[in-house]
Each structure stands twice: as structure tokens, then as C-alpha cells.
Structure 1
Amino acid sequence: MRYTYKSYILAILLIGSFIIEGCQTTRKADYHYENFDYMLAIEEYQEAFNGKEPKLKGAQRLADSYRLTGQTVKAEEWYARVVAMPEADPINIFYYAEALQSNGKYFEAKTQFQNYAMKAPAQAAQANARAQAIDFAMKLMEEPPSAIVVNETVINSANADFSPTIYEDGILFTSDRGGSPANQDDKIKDPGQYGWTGRPYLQMFYAQRNEDSTWQVPTIVDATLNNIYHDGPAVMDSANNTIYFTRTNMVLVKQKNVNVDPTSWVKKPMTNEYINRLEIFSARRDGSNWTDVKPFEYNKVSEYNVGHPAISPDGQVLYFVSDKPGGQGQTDIYYSERQPDGSWGQPMNAGPTINTAGKEMFPAFDNDGFLYFSSDTHLGFGGLDVFRTRGSRTTWSKPENMRMPLNSPKDDFGMTFMLNEQGEQVGYFSSNRESNNGTDDIYSFKLLSNAVLLVTTLERVQTPGKRSVTQPLSDVRLGLAVQNSTDSIFAFTNANGEYNYGVMKGRTYELSGDKLGYLRQTATVKIDTTSLADTTRVTLIFDKSAINTTIAIEKIYYDLDKWNIRPDAAAELDKLVRMLKDNPSIKIELASHTDSREGHGYNQLLSERRAQAAVEYLVKQGIPRNRLTWRGYGETRLVNGCSDGVECTEDQHQMNRRTEFTIK
């Protein structure tokens, strides 16, 4: 519903002008089209074109009607016919590309964006940017899933249901399924259907969730929060005492030649003296009732729209969306700070990190203080995508696309969050991904990741004259599972020996890596909950499993004339313990070496004691003794030139005081 309710909610998304030539179709169809009654126009155009070949004007108007009501499959079909007509304006190629992208046809969409860039040089930068965004989307599709998503079919209707917010024992959401509040004044006239969609006006509904996770039948909210025209979406403050919600308002304007807002309830004849604008209202809870309904101090319906309220976790900042002059683009996210007297301060733009030349809307906060919002301009899959950022006011981290399946080629928006019994981030959001008529559904989700685990796989290579070097090892089969769980997510590292896993902060994971011809490697990884960084890095170093391969153990050093295991050596031997447990079929020989100081006999005895000490340490850690042998080499295998009579530093001598293992 990119051009229906999301158009309505911000009330500024009416496409300003249509370049249409030719003359065809009935006056009745044109009348509905020119008065923004697109569903009625579609019916009339279909009837007029039945069995006939449409001309450009009628075909484009029907394609536009499908586009503006979110019927992307039909829009694609009719824009394909329009762009084949020699007289068609190039803008139709752009709309055709958008429809293809919304329908997941990325390669075809990219071709059409590039075609539009050639046909409309003045718009080439925009078109080429959209083509590049498609490359990004296809790459993003290779990333692991971000969540488990379920369509809440029990509470969804055949009409539009969207923008849920946590409310009492369930959710409050916006819908055009129809109905009148029980306490509504009977004298208020029913406004009828909304001509743009051919469905009732938007109202707020409540769905209560039972203890067994089933839903009760949604009921319409009382008339305090629902007017007879468009109402919603809404958000509760953290104390659940105040609700902030969006409401439309009709304004009589003196200016001429202004676009009539698509949500106007003024009936025909429509004139450009009326415009519909959005406002934010608040209401205070009084027991089970809502009272003291009042407008936001900075509503200004005579000039611009204000809507989509969201409250910061501390309740001190109100975020919202507006098309007020001076912003970054079509619609921007703004904020207003609570003043000592409880009022709201002058609104400020949230800045260019979030806001773009396009549309940013539907802000919301999760339990960790992340801001989520939807955008049609930040790189994504198409339509509105959900993004996440951390910060406040004008300072934000780079927005992160929430990936599939939270996002799709169509519109995804309106998130709300809560914690389940296991402390996991769960919630609800809206999407029209499964709709052919532009309507939205409400989906539940459970996040699979709020952080990234970057795994790097390296091969350790022994080189003449050096201890060892490492190089990227590609195509390693990785397995990741939550600790004490048997469900693993498998993947392969890329050419750089890397792979990004989506993970949850605070959880501990078991990571494994396998590749034919190499020793298996594993690691236990705990994802930090306090770090500002969203990425945890882990490196797995692989050694070849060929017989008689000698591998130097890093940092197995000894103090001069000593053979006891130092703490730094114990940490490295623990890695060897893990490797031996991960590869239970191999046997190894541990070899210890000394530097050249002292006599040969002394060094030989010292190296044997050091090798034996390492073996005893491994046995104490649970490695069977029959898998281990040991040998001391004294000073016979120096790794550098520090032999008898050569002056060397302590660090150079220490390189020779080492332990290695050989696969036997």
C-alpha cells in the first residue's frame, strides 16, 4: 500500500501531475480518476476496454490507478502495455520498473531503470541510483534471515490492517474493515466509503491475545479515539497513561492550484480549495476510559502534515513524521523534547543520517533503545523497507536494513516491540507482501539477530625460517548453534575466508568449522550485551591434517631454565585440547625445544621435561594418554640464528623455547 494508506497517513504523497495525451475512455471513468476515486475508475476503465484496444490516455490512467492503489501485478501488466506505445511519456518506464521491482523481478526492473535513464537524461542520476540499489538488494538476499515471521491471519481481514502497537493484553491497530464505535453519536452522519480505495475510512481496533496465544475477535475502539474519518496509527507512552495518535483534518485553503489530499472526505464536486492534513493528538487514560483529547502543539494543518508519533524509551522525546518545509526530502522524521512544564519543545529535524530526499516514516523504538523506521530511499529491496539505527535526536548510527523476511520487495513498516518470557525481542509489523489489491496485513515476528558474528577462517602455513603465517581459507563449512541446542545454521566462508552470522546479544553460541584435509576447529562465543559495537569477531585457524605435519603451537613459551606451564601457555594448550577433542581420531607427538644457552646435555634434559609437562597438562584436561607422545629436541632445531656465541635479544632466544606438535 505504498500509494494508498501510506500515502494517506502522511497525506502528501499524491503524485503531482500526470503527463497524458490522447483522448479515450468514458467520461465517467475520467471523472472518477480526476477525483481520486481510483477503485471506481478501475471498474469503469475495465468495462470501457472490454474487448477493445485502449489508447494511450486510458491505458496510462488505468495503470496509474492500479499503481496508486498498490495493485502491483496489474500495474506491471498495464505499464508494460503503456511503454510499448510510441507516444508514451518516459515516466511510465520508471513506474513500470517500480512495479517490476515490487513484484520481485529485479533483473527486469534494473533493465527498465537503465532504459529510463537513457530516455530521460535529466533523471538519469535517480534512475541509475535505483538500478544500483537493485544490485544491493540482490546481494542482501544472500544474507541470513533476520527473523521468524508469521501472518496473524486470525486478526487480519480482507481489507487493510496495519501499524500495530502494544496495548493492554494485545495490540491496537489501524484498519478499514468498517464499523462504528458503540458510544459514537448517532447524529454523526456515516461518511460512507473512501473513494481512493473503495473501502471504509480508517479506524483503530483492539485485538486481545489470550494466555494460550490465540486471539479474540478485534473490536473497534471507542469514539474518544475514533472520529468518523481516518484515525491511526497510535503509540502508548512507557507508563501506559498517555496515547498519541494520528488524525486527519480537512482544511479550507485560500491558495489556488494546490493538490487535493487523497484522503479528503469532501464529496463531489472536489475542488482545490480543500486539502486534508494529518495531525497528532494525545489522550489521557482515566481508568478504562480515555479523556482530555488535545492536539500536539506544533500541528499546522494550514501548511503541512504531522503524524506517526513515537516516544523514546525514557519518555522525554517525541518523534514524528512531517512534510514541513525545510526538510531533507518528501517526508522526514522530526523530534520534540519534553519541557520541564510537561509541554513539548520546538520540533527539530532528526538529520541527514536518517532522512533522505525520499520518504522516511513510521518511527518506533524497541526495548534496547534502537530506532526503527521505514524508508523508500535508503538501499533496500523496494517499496518501504524497515531500517534500524542507534542514537538520539540528530546523532545516529548508519541505518541498517533489517533484511529478509522482515523486509520484502513490497512495503514493510509499522513495527512494535515487546520481550517474551525468554527475554527475546518479539513484536508485530505490517506488510502488503501477500496482497494483490494493495491491502496490508499484520505479521508477528521474533528477531533472530540484533548483532553480527563475523567469522574469519585462516590456514596456518609453516614456512622456512619463520614460525608460521596465516592466509584466508575459503569454502570452510561453518555450523552455528545456540549453546545447549541441537539446531545449527550451516554456511560456507567466502573467498576471503569470511561469513557474517546474525546473532542475538547476550546469547552463547557453539561455532564449528570443517574442511576436507584440515583439522576440525570449534569455538564457544558469547555475544556481549554491553558493547556499543554490533559486531563480534571470531577467527578459526586451520591446520592441515596430513600425517607427519608439524605445527607450531603459538605462545607456548617457558621461562629461562623452567619447564612449568605459564598461564599464557595454558591458554594456548587449552586450544590444543579443544582441537584434539574435535578430532578424536588423530594422535600427536609433542616436541619441545630450548634456546642455545647452557650446555647441550642440559638443554636436552630441559626440553624433555618441558615436552612431558605439556603432555601431562593435556592429560589433566581429559585427553587420553595413548593419543600423546612426547620428545625433547634441546637446541638442535633453532628457528633463528641464535646459536652458541651469537648475541641475541631475550625475545629472539624465547622464540626458540617453543613447543610443536606433529600428527602421527
Structure 2
Amino acid sequence: MSFILNFSYAQKKSDLEKANKKYDQLAFFEAQKLYKKLFEDGYESPEILSKLADAYYFNDELEKSNKYYTLLFKKYKESVKPEYYFRHAQTLKATGQYQKADELMATFNSFKGFDSRAKKYSDEPNYLQIIDFQSGRFIIKNAEDVNSYTSDFGTAYYDAKDKVVFATSRDTSSLINRRHTWSGQAFLELYEADETNAGELRNAKEFKGVLNTRFHESTPTFTKDGNTVYFTRNNYSEGVARQDIDGVNRLKIYKSVKKGKRWLQPVELPFNSDEYSTAHPALSPDETKLYFSSDMPGSVGYDMREKFGKSDLWVVDILEDGNYSEPRNLENVNTEGRESFPFVSSNNTLYFASTGHQGLGGLDVFASSIKPDGSVSNVVNIGSPINTQYDDFSFIINDGSKRGYFSSNRPGGIGDDDIYSFIQTEEMRKECEHLLSGTVTDKNTGAPIDGALVTVLDANNNIVGDVITKANGKFVFKLECDKQYFLRGEKREYGTDEDLFTTPSQTDYSDIPLELSKNKQALADCDDIAPLLNIKQIYFDFDKSNIRPDAAAELTKIKAFMELYPQIAVEIRSHTDSRAPDDYNDALSDRRARSTRQWLIDNGIDASRLTAKGYGERQLLNKCSNGVECTPEEHQLNRRSEFIISGLGKISNCN
């Protein structure tokens, strides 16, 4: 038996080493299978769960990834690294769980205050409302005539915009069924399709010439005359595939020139490297600059220990002699997440995909105006229906016709990634537009206020807009630049809060919080103020009476209430359910009640205004007494805290 156990352990250790090797080589498809087999065989650890989740995450299978991140956080939260809070938040967005995603991002912000992704979360708490303002500006349609059952993406205009070239993993060119270890699909090749006047794509066929090889080719960009192309390819030339120091075959940008009807042998660009990837080239309208994506040193999210998952946007000048300047990082666009798939339209708008800016989940498409000096304006999420909770990327547009294409792995498509056509029905935003957001909260408790009326008035006291807040207390308005406005929040039983402000002279965002003080209300002896203040259950750790952080947040509301009503006294009552001996429950509840009282005293409430008593299981709210079988939910009703008030400053006899 000992031999069998030792053999089993050795075998699983060997399988884990194989999985880790595949993972380190970016062979995520094969790593998935190995990690999943270990997991299903009952071998579970933080390493296996995190890398299994990562293998799906980096293959853009966010829903599957979410399953394993959820298990990781449930079972091994103490060992989870900060970066996993961001990744898990992304997968939660992909499954529509935005509130949970925001909670994880708040924790991520506490870990990594220096991280721009965390800062963007804290600076834009109303990002969903801001995105909603940009939504509804496109009509989209699946380009079903050219999509396959595999991946089709990365469109580019070609030949005076009569044709579109794209990447596809359909396996039609070889009798050998070759698959890439990252995704398990066939290697990408370039295809071309005819573009109709209505923006539809027809007659997809292989892009002939030397550009396609037995490795990946994708995301081309062509000069207007159609005689020069820059494109992405695996690190492969002259029949040799090269790898970095860890055995990873990186991506590089290549250039080819057309002579007659024939493309010449592609050459790689001088800023490529065997040790990092460069990909997704995009030309500026005047063809003097080349934008691209790379994880080269100097990237915002660069970490020599990270081999994947993060990249920045860069730009080089294309010099008159055909050489290139040193790459420059687009610093105010990039985050510690992933920025990729740039495209520059004829009006100098930079479109790109990102996981680091505030989005709906996965990759979202963003836009930024390129200024004459080469700097870029504030980044804007272009909204739905282009963006969804899935991966949306590779956006291109003809500014003249307002038609274009993008790629997405959203449900309802034909393959893994599909190409979609669109027509833009409305400009994305005014030349100068200010988005004002904020949250209405209770000044005493800090809790968001549901049902508050928030009004914006102009300098002439005319109402510009108003909104009734929901449970999260948030509001957002779209205003003109360089104007004075008056903001007011109000609600029945509360006072008002007001703010006079002037919007900046350029497009920007601002956040103005409003705090409302509750008007005093009639109180009666023996009232329980817990329901009045929406106090959640005061939780204690098992068999303990110390005040946990989540309980302290609720007790802060009691403290604020007693400061608002200095004439009242409070009796703290703690109750348990019946699932322990009666004497034990009496003692435990009494300790918890006294611990609650002491917390309030330590935080400034006069001890003479507070008494505490534990009632154990002697005041049950239902049938669940000793020996009665009940559900956990029924027992939960009996585990409660009460805060009973007296208007005389003395505790009255409240039964």
C-alpha cells in the first residue's frame, strides 16, 4: 500500500511539473487540461486553482476562469496575491456581477494604491453610468458571410478601402491539422474579403503571397496606396522560429513592400526583440507614425517576472529615410492592465482595446483624440453595443462613411471571435463635454441615500437636469464646459446640501459628493433603532465576542445616532439561537452585548447612556427552540442584536 501511495504522489507531482512547464511556455490550452485533470482527481492547492483560472483568463474564457477564481477566493483567500483581485473582478464583470466586482476592486485599491487601474476605479465610482452616456451610438451586425466556426478578427482596410483583410484560424490550407498550444486552434492566417457599399463583407479567401506562413499572421495595416503592409507574426523568418530565454516564441511586427502584384519577403522592424512581443501595428493618417502594442521594458505594467497578460501602446516615427525613431510609450493611455489593438482614424482619433480602464468586462474599446503635438486626450469608453461584458476589440472606422468593423467573442456569434460590422449613428461626444458624478450619503452614518432628488441649475437658476437616486445613492450629469452650475441634493426628512462649481474648459470628469443631515424625528421609549438605521446583523466570530471590522461599521451608525440624540439612552440586547446549551448561550450573548457596549464607550459615547444584557435563547422569534428541527435560515432569525431606546436618559422597563 505504501508503494502505491508513494507512486500516486510521485505521479501527481510529475503531472503538476508538466502543467507548470506548459503554463510557463504559454501553452495555456494544454496547461488547462493538465491542471483540470489534477483538480478533478482531488488534487487542489492555491497554485493549481490560480493557474487553472489564469489559463482560462489568458485565453479570454472569462466565465470558465471565474469558476476557479471563485473557488480560489473561497478556500485560499489569505494566500491570494493582489493581482488576482483585479483578474477575478474582470471575470465577475464578464458574468454580470458588477457589484461584487466593485467590492473586489475596492480591496485591490487598498492593496495597490499606486496602481493606475485602482486609481481609475476610485476616481470613477460611477463608471457604469458614464459608459451608459456614451452608449447607443452604433448599429451592429454580425459579418456572418466571412466568419467561421473558429476565430476571425483584426480587420484592416486595403486597396482603397474596397477590401478588408483579417486574421482567421480556419484550417483550410494544410492537410496537417496543426494547432497552437496557447488556444488549441489552428494558426492564424490572413484572409481578404470584398467590402460592399453597405459595409458588408463578401467572398472571403486566403490572402495570397509570402505573408502567410505555418505560424501566426494577424492584424495588418496598409498604406493608402496598398503597396506597403505592416503586420504581426510569430518570431519566425527564413524558416527559423526563435524563442526567448524561457523558450517562448514571441510576436514581432514585420513589413513587406509590394512590387507589381507580388509582395516581397517580409522583414522585421528594428525595435522587435526575441525577449518581448511587439504586435498590432496601426498607421497614422499621414503615415508618418506607427502605433503598436508591446510588453517591452518601460511599459507601465512591465514586470520581468510576467511573461504575458500585460502590454502598452507605443508609437514610433517613420523617418524619411525609411528608418524609425526610438519607441515612445503613450503614458497617459496605458495602465498596468492590457492595452492593445490600436487604430487611428482619419480624424486622428485613437481607438484601442483595454482591460485596465473602467469597462464592462474583458477587453473594451476606448477612444482618445490625438492632439497636434502627439499627446492624447482623456480616454473614453465608447459604450454599448460595441462593448459588452465579453472581449470586444480590433475596432476600425471610416470617418467618411461612419462605417467600420470590430471583433468580439460575445455569445450568439458563429465562432470563438467574430467580426461585426457597424454604422455610427451619432458622434461619440461633443467637442467639449463635462461629466459630473457623485454620491448622496447620510452625513451621520455615511450610508448612501435612496430616493434623494439631485438637481443641477445654471447661472440663471434654470433647471438643467434632475435625477432621483437609487439604493447606491449615485448620480451623474452631462454638462457643458466652462460654465457655472449649482448642484443641490434634498430628501424628505433630511436637510439639503448644495455646491456651486464651474466646469473646466476642456473635456473632463469630476465627482462632487453630497451629504444630507437627517432631520430629527419623534422617538418613543422601547423603540428598536436597528431597523430604523438599517443595521445589518452584528456578526461575531464563532465562540468569540470581539468586535469585527464589519460589525464596527454597523456600530458607527449607532454612535452617530446617539450623538444626534444626546438625551436618549440605549439598552443593547444580544440574542442567540437554540443550538447550544442554555447556560452557554446566556453567557456568550452577555459577553457579546457587553463587548458591543464597550466599543461604543471607547468611541466616545458616555457609559451612563448604555446598558447591555444577553438574553441567550430566551426570546426566540420562531418555533426553533431546543429539540425542534429548523433550517439554518430559521436559526439565523434568532441570532440578532437589538438597540432599545429611552427618551429620558434612563433605561425603561421595555419587554
TM range (shorter): 0.5 to 0.7
Asked if 1 retains the 8 angstrom alpha-carbon contact of 2:209 and 2:262, the reply is no
Partner SS, residue 326 of structure 1: coil
Q: Distance in 2 between matches of 1:43 and 1:348?
A: 39
Task: Give the structure 1 partner of residue 548 of structure 2.
Answer: none
Task: Give the structure 1 partner of residue 312 of structure 2.
Answer: 332
Q: Distance in 2 between matches of 1:24 and 1:327?
A: 40
**Which of 452, 456, 466 does residue 430 from structure 2 map onto?**
452
Spell out, residue by residue over 1:153-175, the C-alpha distance to the aligned partner (whole angstroms, 9 max, x if none).
Answer: 33222222111011243311112
Residues 362 and 471 of structure 1: CA distance in aligned 2, closer, same or farther (over 3 Å): same
**Which of 324, 335, 343 does residue 345 from structure 1 map onto?**
324
Spell out, residue by residue over 1:253-308, the C-alpha distance to the aligned partner (whole angstroms, 9 max, x if none).
Answer: xxxxxxxxxxx978xxx995533232222222234432253332x23324433322
Q: Please, which runs of 5 or more residues in structure 1 have no aligned partner?
A: 1-21, 182-188, 252-263, 461-467, 477-494, 502-531, 536-664
Q: Distance in 1 between matches of 2:457 and 2:340?
A: 47
Asked if 1 retains the 8 angstrom alpha-carbon contact of 2:29 and 2:184, the reply is yes
Map 1:37-76 → 2, pairs under 5 A: 37-50=27-40, 52=42, 54-76=44-66
**Does residue 35 of structure 1 match 2:22?**
yes
Give, as a single letter, the amino acid of the residue that structure 2 aligns with 1:244.
Y
Map 1:516-555 → 2, pairs under 5 A: none
**How far did 1:225 drift?**
0.8
Spell out, residue by residue over 1:197-222, the C-alpha distance to the aligned partner (whole angstroms, 9 max, x if none).
Answer: 11111211112245676543422222
Give, as a single letter, the amino acid of the residue that structure 2 aligns with 1:434.
P
Map 1:39-188 → 2, pairs under 5 A: 39-50=29-40, 52=42, 54-86=44-76, 89-91=79-81, 92-116=84-108, 121=111, 128-129=118-119, 131-132=121-122, 135-143=125-133, 144-168=135-159, 169-180=162-173
Residues 435 and 77 of structure 1: CA distance in aligned 2, closer, same or farther (over 3 Å): farther
Spell out, residue by residue over 1:107-149, the C-alpha distance to the aligned partner (whole angstroms, 9 max, x if none).
Answer: 011122334566xx46786685365377343222431423222
**Does residue 317 of structure 1 match 2:284?**
no
Partner SS, residue 100 of structure 2: helix
Q: Distance in 2 between matches of 1:458 and 1:430?
A: 39
Give, as a single letter, the amino acid of the residue that structure 2 aligns with 1:159.
T
**How far did 1:327 drift?**
4.1
**Does residue 413 of structure 1 match 2:393?**
yes
Partner SS, residue 136 of structure 2: coil
Q: Distance in 1 between matches of 2:244 and 2:71?
A: 32
Residues 137 and 349 of structure 1: CA distance in aligned 2, closer, same or farther (over 3 Å): same
**How far did 1:408 drift?**
2.6
**How far did 1:250 drift?**
5.6
**How far did 1:76 drift?**
1.1
Q: Distance in 2 between matches of 1:380 and 1:497?
A: 17
Partner SS, residue 250 of structure 2: strand
Spell out, residue by residue over 1:405-441, the C-alpha distance to the aligned partner (whole angstroms, 9 max, x if none).
Answer: 222333322122225xxx4311011222338999322
Give, as a single letter, the amino acid of the residue that structure 1 aligns with 2:258.
R
**Which of 190, 213, 236 does residue 227 from structure 1 map onto?**
213
Spell out, residue by residue over 1:589-616, the C-alpha distance to the aligned partner (whole angstroms, 9 max, x if none).
Answer: xxxxxxxxxxxxxxxxxxxxxxxxxxxx
Task: Give the structure 1 partner of residue 341 of structure 2.
Answer: 362
Residues 51 and 221 of structure 1: CA distance in aligned 2, closer, same or farther (over 3 Å): same
Q: Distance in 2 between matches of 1:459 and 1:123?
A: 35
Q: Distance in 1 between matches of 2:186 and 2:398?
A: 30
TM-score (structure 2 length as normaliser): 0.57
Q: Report the number of matched residues.
A: 432
Task: Give the structure 2 partner of residue 426 of structure 1.
Answer: 403
Residues 25 and 205 of structure 1: CA distance in aligned 2, closer, same or farther (over 3 Å): farther
**Which of 367, 378, 382 does residue 398 from structure 1 map onto?**
378
**Does residue 472 of structure 1 match 2:493?**
no
Task: Give the structure 2 partner of residue 247 of structure 1.
Answer: 233
Residues 250 and 51 of structure 1: CA distance in aligned 2, closer, same or farther (over 3 Å): same
Map 1:635-650 → 2, pairs under 5 A: none
Task: Give the structure 1 partner of residue 258 of structure 2.
Answer: 285
Asked if 1 retains the 8 angstrom alpha-carbon contact of 2:284 and 2:290, the reply is yes
**Which of 247, 271, 284 does residue 274 from structure 1 map onto?**
247
Spell out, residue by residue over 1:301-355, the C-alpha distance to the aligned partner (whole angstroms, 9 max, x if none).
Answer: 24433322211111222222333333444433333333333x1332241542333
Asked if 1 retains the 8 angstrom alpha-carbon contact of 2:158 and 2:165, the reply is yes
Give, as a single letter, the amino acid of the residue that structure 1 aligns with 2:64.
K
Q: Distance in 2 between matches of 1:303 and 1:33?
A: 20
Q: Distance in 1 between matches of 2:283 and 2:343?
A: 8
Give, as a single letter, the amino acid of the residue that structure 2 aligns with 1:281.
Y
Q: Please, which runs of 5 or more residues in structure 2 have no aligned partner?
A: 1-8, 303-310, 436-454, 468-473, 481-504, 509-655
Q: Distance in 2 between matches of 1:54 and 1:361?
A: 34
Give, as a single letter, the amino acid of the residue that structure 1 aligns with 2:401.
E
Asked if 1 retains the 8 angstrom alpha-carbon contact of 2:245 and 2:275, the reply is no
Residues 392 and 245 of structure 1: CA distance in aligned 2, closer, same or farther (over 3 Å): farther
Q: Distance in 2 between matches of 1:415 and 1:115?
A: 32
Residues 435 and 326 of structure 1: CA distance in aligned 2, closer, same or farther (over 3 Å): farther
Residues 146 and 286 of structure 1: CA distance in aligned 2, closer, same or farther (over 3 Å): same
**Which of 368, 373, 376 does residue 389 from structure 1 map onto?**
368
**Does residue 201 of structure 1 match 2:179?**
no
Q: CA RMSD in A?
A: 4.2
Q: Report the structure number with the largest CA radius of gyration.
A: 1
Asked if 2 retains the 8 angstrom alpha-carbon contact of 1:71 and 1:436, the reply is no
Spell out, residue by residue over 1:474-529, the C-alpha distance to the aligned partner (whole angstroms, 9 max, x if none).
Answer: 459xxxxxxxxxxxxxxxxxx9996579xxxxxxxxxxxxxxxxxxxxxxxxxxxx
Asked if 1 retains the 8 angstrom alpha-carbon contact of 2:258 and 2:264, the reply is yes
Q: Distance in 1 between matches of 2:381 and 2:388?
A: 11
Residues 105 and 301 of structure 1: CA distance in aligned 2, closer, same or farther (over 3 Å): same
Residues 60 and 180 of structure 1: CA distance in aligned 2, closer, same or farther (over 3 Å): same
Q: Distance in 1 between matches of 2:373 and 2:313?
A: 10
**How far did 1:73 drift?**
1.2
Give, as a single letter, the amino acid of the residue that structure 1 aligns with 2:279.
G
Q: Distance in 1 between matches of 2:312 and 2:373?
A: 13
Give, as a single letter, the amino acid of the residue that structure 2 aligns with 1:353.
N
Residues 436 and 196 of structure 1: CA distance in aligned 2, closer, same or farther (over 3 Å): farther
Residues 346 and 178 of structure 1: CA distance in aligned 2, closer, same or farther (over 3 Å): same
Q: Distance in 1 between matches of 2:108 and 2:475?
A: 37
Residues 174 and 148 of structure 1: CA distance in aligned 2, closer, same or farther (over 3 Å): same
Asked if 1 retains the 8 angstrom alpha-carbon contact of 2:349 and 2:368, the reply is yes
TM-score (structure 1 length as normaliser): 0.56
Give, as a single letter, the amino acid of the residue that structure 2 aligns with 1:63.
A
Spell out, residue by residue over 1:544-601, the C-alpha distance to the aligned partner (whole angstroms, 9 max, x if none).
Answer: xxxxxxxxxxxxxxxxxxxxxxxxxxxxxxxxxxxxxxxxxxxxxxxxxxxxxxxxxx
**How far did 1:364 drift?**
1.1
Residues 172 and 125 of structure 1: CA distance in aligned 2, closer, same or farther (over 3 Å): closer
Q: Distance in 1 between matches of 2:265 and 2:28?
A: 37
Task: Give the structure 1 partner of residue 279 of structure 2.
Answer: 307
Partner SS, residue 264 of structure 2: strand
Q: Distance in 2 between matches of 1:292 and 1:190?
A: 24
